[in-house]
Amino acid sequence: MIVDLLHSPLFALPLSIIAFWLGVLLYRRSGTVLLHPIVTASLLVFAILYALDIPYRDYQSSSALLYALLGPAVVALAIPLKQNLAIIRRAGWPLLVTIVVGALLAPAIAVVIAFLLGAGESVLLALSGKSITTPIALALAEKIHAALSLTAGIVVFTGVVGALAGPPLLRGLGIRDDRILGVVLGINAHAVGTARALEISALCGACAALAMGLCGALSALILPLIIGA
């Protein structure tokens, strides 16, 4: 009975929610981006799953409701985009070209580096979705026959690293424009980066949401054609 409970949504869903809630509390009290809720919550869930010997596949299937809510959560990011649409329009074509080029180069560079290092086909397929937000990446992974768990892990890891390292790296390079920072976070760190961008400013979050959405759309259209060829 207890074993069945540990492998059911009655355990997985409260575990995810409580872990994230604790992560938010720790993040707010510490004030350091290194303790981002996604980082601490992921580590806490990993530790519990490991201690209880629960396979990730069972946890993933039991968390289907949370995965289903990812889509509406991403759509909700259109709100800051709408609020700052006039400012974004002024950037016009330079912003759009930057997003398109970044959307194509970000996964391509990762795949090329992994290929040169001798990565297998499963890793290369999973890496192709590294710059797409999780719900789109998982749907695309099914279409191109990539491992769902590996794809999800790469996407989350990419988002966390990008959200943590992106802002201080750009500040170190002397880049202060919230539009540029938002685009960089949206392309390289998708939903996690967009959430981080919203903490910086509404304009930064709007640019990140735009970049994330266009990256997802372009990848969903182009990637199956490239792999299919």
Instruction: Confirm if 136 and 68 have CB atoms less than 8 A apart.
Output: no
Work out the mean pLDDT of the chain and round it to a whole number: 78
How high is the pLDDT of residue 83?
Answer: 67
Share of the chain above pLDDT 90, in %: 0
Residue 229 has pLDDT above 60, yes or no: no
How high is the pLDDT of residue 87?
Answer: 67
Region class of 6: left (phi > 0), else alpha (psi between -120 and 50), else beta:
alpha
* Stated pTM of the model: 0.74
Q: State how far the Cα of 220 lies from the Cα of 141, in Å rounded to an integer.
A: 10
* Residue-range domain boundaries for the chain: 1-62, 68-228
Tell me the residue type at 33: V
Instruction: Confirm if 185 and 210 have CB atoms less than 8 A apart.
Output: no
The CB-side HSE value for 200 (13 A sphere, CA atoms) comes to 28
Residue 44 has pLDDT above 60, yes or no: yes
Kindly report which listed range (64-68, 78-82, 97-101, 134-138) carries the lowest average pLDDT score.
78-82
Residue-by-residue DSSP string for 178-207: HHHHHHHHHHHHHHHHHHHHHHH-HHHHHH
The CB-side HSE value for 107 (13 A sphere, CA atoms) comes to 28
Q: State how far the Cα of 182 lies from the Cα of 214, in Å rounded to an integer.
A: 13
